[in-house]
Structure 1
Amino acid sequence: MNDDYLNPNNYFAQQAKQNEERARLEEIAAKRELEAQKFCNQSNDSLIVQLRNNVAALAEKNRQLQQANEKLALDNAFLESLFTLPMHQMAEKNPRFKASHDAEQLALAKWILSQKAYAETAFAIGMAAGKSAEEIKAIYKDSISSVLANVTKYGNDAISNPVLKAHADNIIKRK
Structure 2
Amino acid sequence: MPKVIYLTGAPASGKSSTTKMLSGQVSGLQVWEYGARLTEHVRRRVDGVASQDELRTRSAGVVTPADVDEVDDALIAFVEGHRGRQHVLIDSHPVTKEEYGYRITPFSLERFAQLAPDEIWVLYADPDETRRRIAADAGGRPMVTVEEARTHTALQSSVAATYGMSLGRPVYLFDTAAPRDWLVARLAARLA
Give the shorter-chain TM-score range.
under 0.3
Q: Which has the higher contact order (CA 8 A, sep 6+)?
A: 2
Structure with the largest fraction of strand: 2
Alignment TM-score, normalising by the size of structure 1: 0.23
Structure with the largest fraction of helix: 1
